[in-house]
């Protein structure tokens, strides 16, 4: 496992997820609007729930960046892989159901994130 690389990735991940959480909480229609999904104010609760998940991931990432225990770091990495992997698959489903092709850029970004977490948390021979 590459401890330094994984810790650095967790800091970057924490910053990105914190930024997304703040944007979703303050302007709940902005991020969905970028991919052609218009939220009515009555549906903002969906963005708020996602913001809550993003805040939680940010805390997990920042906290994990200060850990040295290999098993704890690997669990955090796999939690991020599960979140971004499942979100990417569900974004592909949204695209298949009519969301803008712009959402596929987010799918690619999530695939890169999954790959980085998997690479940096792997066992080294």
One-character DSSP codes across 73-97 = HHHHHHHHHHHHHHHHHHHHHHHHT
Host H or E run for residue 48 = helix 44-64
Lowest mean pLDDT among 9-23, 28-42, 59-73, 104-118: 28-42
pLDDT number for residue 123: 81
Give the tens place of pLDDT for each residue, 31-85. Answer: 998 888 899 999 999 999 999 999 999 999 999 999 999 999 999 999 999 999 9
Handedness of CA 87, 100, 16, 45 (dihedral sign): negative
CA–CA separation, 125 and 108 (whole Å) = 29
pLDDT number for residue 2: 84
Closest CA to 111 of 119, 121, 99, 122: 119
Handedness of CA 17, 18, 19, 21 (dihedral sign): positive
* Structure-token match 């939220």, residue found: 39
State whether residue 71 is helix, strand or coil: helix
pLDDT number for residue 124: 74
pLDDT at 125 over 60: no
Host H or E run for residue 7 = helix 3-26
CA–CA separation, 39 and 28 (whole Å) = 8
CA–CA separation, 125 and 44 (whole Å) = 48
pLDDT number for residue 35: 83
């Amino acid at each position: 496992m590459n401890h330094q690389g994984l810790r650095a990735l967790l800091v970057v991940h924490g910053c990105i997820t914190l930024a997304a959480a703040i944007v979703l909480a303050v302007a709940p229609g902005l991020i969905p609007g970028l991919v052609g999904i218009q939220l009515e104010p009555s549906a903002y609760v969906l963005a708020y729930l996602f913001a809550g998940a993003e805040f939680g991931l940010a805390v997990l990432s920042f906290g994990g960046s200060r850990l040295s225990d290999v098993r704890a770091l690997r669990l955090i990495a796999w939690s991020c892989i599960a979140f971004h992997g499942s979100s990417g698959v569900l974004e592909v489903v949204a695209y298949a159901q009519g969301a803008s092709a712009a959402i596929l850029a987010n799918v690619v970004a999530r695939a890169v994130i999954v790959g980085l977490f998997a690479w940096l948390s792997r066992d080294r021979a």
